[in-house]
Structure formats: structure tokens, C-alpha cells
């Protein structure tokens, strides 16, 4: 009897080696069935099968033997088969992250934008979504530059909103950061933004087109120190980790 | 000529209706090809195809016509086909979230745990990962209760660590929250925790088995007000949204 090649993990899981998979679905079906029978005899909990895009012809066979999907990206699909009903399966990522910037210039004016495709006219903060693997402090500076042409540097993270039921049913966090403007001339990104300008802070806070949420987050950001970036010796690297702490003094 | 049923979205995307898919892969292949040719003629940007688990036999056909995977869960697989090389494709969730709790009792003792499976002995904070759709403030209270049996209530969020390269290459955020203990008797969860106890805060901060990261996050949490929960009128619901603000007074 032939078996697929696999490795055991510390949680009673068998991780199949996709390099051992025969490309013929009928033969794959036979060997997979025999391998799963062997796993059940061994008392294993869970089977992991990763199929890169080019092995898509094998997905149907796996599903027919009880596998379900765990996650996928453009490279391939991860499937799992629970051998025990209460087997522990670690989840996949659940959240999107975005950040907006509060920039106040030396004349006490705030940088605001209007979106091109809006349902109601609102003065908003420049900002946007983090790219995969990007730091919050870098993302907000990048987004402000892309949307408005304004260079800035990160000062503090002052408040955030956590929201369930965003895109594909996942959750989303929107961090609001104080940034120090390093330039003043605006160049707007025209595909998503219709307007960007420096507006006197008092006018912004009292304007009918300022949403109460924006009024509150800007007021908080302007009047509180928030959390600052810091590092801990021997804990990750500045490239892989960013850490936000309230100031102790 | 037959076409698959679809809807257009505002971004030049065609969303195929999976209820219109013939189950025979050969016929599906023909109709899909004709439909894509029609989309190209229309100048569309992107095609979305969702295949629930039971339609797994059609995946290979889609891939053979150039579709790649976007994301998957146990219900099904979302595929996309870019008709223009620079078509905008919104990403999928990128982050895991977890939270730890700093609980100090009336005798100035902190609640700490030791993990059962550790590489080096460390006194850590109780806590764990958010469940999908769960609030941070609820998750940390739930995890502390599960791990130690201690009831508590959320006071503030005081610092956090953002880390790239966590599970499946995704990113992770660990929020540190101040909680008020509402009970004192410890009942430990024995599968992951080997030990939990109330330790004098001074001893904890000076103990050799306290990591510098934990020393810093606990010091920060104990000595700074952090961000508190608040709501904004007419902005989401307390069930779908939680919002963290620094106190203005």
C-alpha cells in the first residue's frame, strides 16, 4: 500500500507534503484514502493539505474525501480535514487595518479631504489601508503623502475605532494618528479625492459637513498625548515590530 | 451563444452568479470562455467568481482560464480574473488580534501566569486571541476568566505591539489592557497554563523571569491612563463598533 508523505506537528496534526502528490486525480484519490485510513489508525487529530494553484485539479478529490478550505491566496489553497470532531484548528487572519492622520500647520489649520465618491459630503482626514506587512506609523505617512502630497512625520496614536462586518464579513480597525506636517503645498490624488485643503481648526470642528465622529477624534488627538512609538531591547526588530506606549512623564 | 449570469459593480468588475453555473465542467468551460470574451469586449477590469464547497469540481476549469484564488473559508473559495493588468483588487484580511490583561488586586498584587509549553520560563499576563467578530474589551475579560477563573471588567487600553510575520505570514497585534479584578480565587485552565497566581507587583517587576517587554507594558499600564471606551451618537452600534479614546480631562 502506498501512502502520501507527511510530517507530524506537535498538535496531533499531519501535514501532507504536496511534492509527493501524484497529478493523476484517480491515483491521488486512492493514495489519499489509504493515507487518511492510516492517520485514523494512528489516532491523529487533523490533516493539512496545501495545494498550489497548479494542483487545482486535485481539489475536488480532497473535498470528496471530506476536506474543507482553511484559507487561500493567489499562490494556492490550504485545506484541512478534521479526524476528530473537536480537533483544534487555528484560525486565519480576521482584521483589516487602516489609519488616518491629523495634521495641524503653524497657522492652526487642519489638513482635510473630500472623497470623490461619497454618499454625503464630509470633510475627512487623509489616510487609508495598511499594505500587508506595513507598520501603522509608516502607512499613515505614506497615505497622507499619496492623497495630498503633504510630507509628514509620525508623532502619536491617539484613538481608534474597531468595527465588525467590514469587507467579506471581516473586522476593521481605523487608527487616528497625530502627524507633524513637513511641507505645505497640496497636490491631490485625483482618482479618489475631489478636494484637499488646510482648513482653520475652529472652522473644521464647527462645520456642518464635519461628522461628529471626526469632530471627536480630532478633538481627542489635538488635546491628548496619546501613545508614542518605542522599542524594547532584544524584542523583535524595528522592521518586524512597532510598539505604542503612553508616555510615563 | 450562452453566457453566465453576472452583475456589474462600480469598479468595472463583473460578479458571476454561481447559481447560473452548469455542474458539467466541460459545458462550464465553454460558457465561461464565451462570457470572458464578452467581458473583454465590454472593457471590464476584473471578474469575481465564488465557488461554494460543493462546486469544487469547477475550480480547475476556472484556473485553466486564468483565475487565481483571492480568499477561502470553510464555506467556499473566492476566485478572481484580472482582465486588465492594473485592475484594482481589494485585499483580504491581514491581521490577527489578541489582548492581555493587567489585573492588580487591593494588596497591590498582579495576576500572572506561566505557560505549560514554554521555551523559557516567563511570568506572563493572562490573555489570548480575539474570536472572529469579538470586541477587544470583551475578549480580554473572557480570556482572563478562561485561563485563571478571575472575573474582571475593562478599564483602559494602554499599549500595544504590532508584529509582522506571524501565523501564515500574516501580522498580529497584541493589545495590553488594564482590568479591574472582580474576584480573587484562581482556577487555572490546565491544558495551556501550568501556573497562575497573584504576585506582589514589585516582585513581578524585578523578577528575573519577567521579560523586559512585560516589565515595560505593565509599568506603562499601571502608570498611565491609556485609552478608554466611548461611543459616538449615530455612529454604528455598541455591538458592531467599539471606540477607544484618550480622556480629555
Catalytic-labelled residue, pool B18, B115, B134, B146: B146
Residue B145 pLDDT? 98
Distance CA(B32)–CA(A165), nearest Å, equals 31
pLDDT at A246: 85
Q: Which residues of A touch B60 (CB under 8 A)?
A: 56-57, 59-60
Question: Looking at chain B from residue 115 to 134, which residues have their Cβ under 8 Å from any Cβ of chain A?
Answer: 117, 129-130, 132-133
Arithmetic mean of pLDDT, A50-55? 96
* For residues A195-213, average pLDDT: 95
B64/B139 Cα distance (integer angstroms): 43
Task: Say yes or no to pLDDT of A126 above 90.
Answer: yes
Residue ranges of chain B with per-residue pLDDT less than 50: none
Chain A interface test: which of B243, B248, B249 (most A C-beta within 10 Å): B243
Q: Is the dihedral of CA A63, A69, A73, A77 positive or negative?
A: negative
- pLDDT value at position B192? 86
Residue whose C-alpha is closest to residue B154's, from B139, B129, B137, B130:
B137
Strands B13-16 and B46-52, sheet pairing? parallel
CA–CA dist A239, A232 (Å, integer):
13
- Quote the pLDDT of residue B85: 93
Query: What mean pLDDT value characterizes chain B?
Result: 94
CA dihedral B20, B24, B30, B31 (to 10 degrees): -10
Residue A95: is its pLDDT beyond 80?
A: yes
Interatomic CA distance for residues B120 and A11, integer angstroms: 20
Q: Which of A203, A210, A13, A218 is nearest to A102 (CA)?
A: A218
Query: What's the confidence (pLDDT) of residue A237?
Result: 86
Residue B249: per-residue pLDDT: 64
In this prediction, the answer to ipTM > 0.85 reads yes
What confidence score (pLDDT) does residue A249 get? 64
Q: Are the C-beta atoms of residues A158 and A229 closer than 8 Å to each other? A: no
> Cα(B60)–Cα(B29) distance, rounded to whole angstroms?
10
Rounded CA separation A159/A174 (Å): 9
From chain A, the residues in CB contact with B64 under 8 A are 56
d(CA A152, CA A182): 5
Q: What is the predicted pLDDT for the residue at A84? A: 95
What would the CATH number be for the domain defined by B95-246? Answer: 3.90.79.10
Q: How many CB atoms lie within 10 A of CB A74?
A: 12
Q: In A87-238, where do the E strands start and end?
A: 95-103, 109-115, 127-129, 152-163, 171-181, 193-200, 227-230
Per domain, the residue ranges of chain A are 6-82, 95-224
Residues of chain B by 3-state class (helix, strand, coil), percent to 5: 25, 35, 35
Q: Other CB atoms closer than 10 Å to residue A245's CB: what's the count?
A: 24
**Residues A24-47: what's their mean pLDDT?**
96
- Name the phi and psi angles at B234, rounded to 5: 60, 30
pLDDT of residue A238: 86
The angle formed by the CA atoms of residues B96, A97 and B73, to the nearest 5 degrees, is: 50
Interface residue A208 vs chain B (CB under 8 A)? no
Structure confidence at residue A1 as a pLDDT band (50, 70, 90): confident
Q: Which CATH architecture has domain B6-82?
A: 3-Layer(aba) Sandwich (3.40)
The pLDDT of residue A192: 86
* Contact list, A176 vs chain B (CB under 8 Å): none
Q: What is the pLDDT of residue A38?
A: 96
Tell me the average pLDDT of chain A: 94
* Correct CATH for A95-224 of 3.40.50.150, 3.40.50.11540, 3.90.79.10, 3.40.50.1100: 3.90.79.10
> Which of B71, B159, B168 has the CB atom closest to A227's CB atom?
B159
The answer to whether residue A52 neighbours chain B at the CB level (below 8 Å) is no
Q: What digits encode the pLDDT tens for the residues B62-71?
A: 999 999 999 9
Residue B184 makes CB contacts below 8 A (sequence gap 6+) with B105, B150, B198
Q: How far apart are CA A178 and CA A40, in angstroms?
A: 56
Which residues, listed in sequence order, are joined to residue B246 by a DSSP beta bridge?
B227
Judged against a pLDDT cut of 70, whether residue A75 lies above it is answered with yes
pLDDT at A234: 77
Q: What is the pLDDT of residue A96?
A: 96
CA dist A36 and B94 (Å) reads 32
* CA B210 to chain CA centroid, nearest Å: 27
β-bridge mates for residue B193, sequence order: B115
Check if the beta carbon of residue B108 is closer than 8 Å to that of residue B201: yes
* A56 → closest Cβ in B59, B223, B248: B59
Residues in a beta bridge with A71: A78
> What's the burial of A41, exposed, middle or buried (CB within 10 Å: 0-12/13-18/19+)?
exposed
Q: How far is B2 from chain A (nearest CA, A)?
A: 25
Tell me the per-residue pLDDT of A158-172, one tens digit each, with 9 for 90 and over.
Answer: 999 999 999 999 999
Q: Which of B64, B73, B94 sits opposite A96 (nearest CB)?
A: B94
Specify the pLDDT at position A248.
73
Amino acid at each position: 500500500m502506498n501512502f502520501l508523505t507527511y510530517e507530524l506537528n506537535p498538535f496531533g496534526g499531519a501535514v501532507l507534503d504536496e511534492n509527493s502528490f501524484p497529478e493523476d486525480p484517480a491515483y491521488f484519490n486512492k493514495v489519499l484514502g489509504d493515507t487518511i485510513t492510516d492517520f485514523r489508525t494512528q489516532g491523529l487529530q487533523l490533516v493539512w493539505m496545501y495545494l498550489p494553484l497548479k494542483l487545482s485539479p486535485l481539489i475536488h478529490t480532497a473535498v470528496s474525501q471530506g476536506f474543507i478550505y482553511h484559507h487561500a491566496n493567489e499562490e494556492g489553497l490550504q485545506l484541512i480535514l478534521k479526524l476528530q470532531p473537536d480537533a483544534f484548528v487555528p484560525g486565519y487572519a480576521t482584521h483589516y487595518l487602516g489609519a488616518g492622520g491629523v495634521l495641524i500647520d503653524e497657522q492652526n489649520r487642519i489638513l482635510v479631504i473630500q472623497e470623490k465618491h461619497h454618499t454625503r459630503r464630509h470633510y475627512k482626514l487623509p489616510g487609508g489601508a495598511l499594505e500587508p506587512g506595513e507598520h501603522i506609523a509608516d502607512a499613515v505617512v505614506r497615505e497622507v503623502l499619496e492623497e495630498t502630497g503633504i510630507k509628514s512625520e509620525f508623532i502619536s496614536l491617539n484613538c481608534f475605532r474597531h468595527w465588525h462586518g467590514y469587507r467579506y464579513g471581516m473586522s476593521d480597525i481605523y487608527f487616528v494618528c497625530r502627524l507633524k506636517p513637513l511641507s505645505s503645498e497640496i497636490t491631490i490624488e485625483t482618482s479618489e479625492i475631489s478636494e484637499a485643503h488646510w482648513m482653520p481648526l475652529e472652522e473644521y470642528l464647527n462645520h456642518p459637513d464635519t461628522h461628529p465622529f471626526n469632530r471627536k477624534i480630532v478633538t481627542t488627538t489635538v488635546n491628548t498625548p496619546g501613545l508614542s512609538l518605542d522599542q524594547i531591547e532584544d524584542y523583535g526588530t524595528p522592521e518586524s515590530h512597532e510598539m505604542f506606549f503612553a508616555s510615563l512623564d
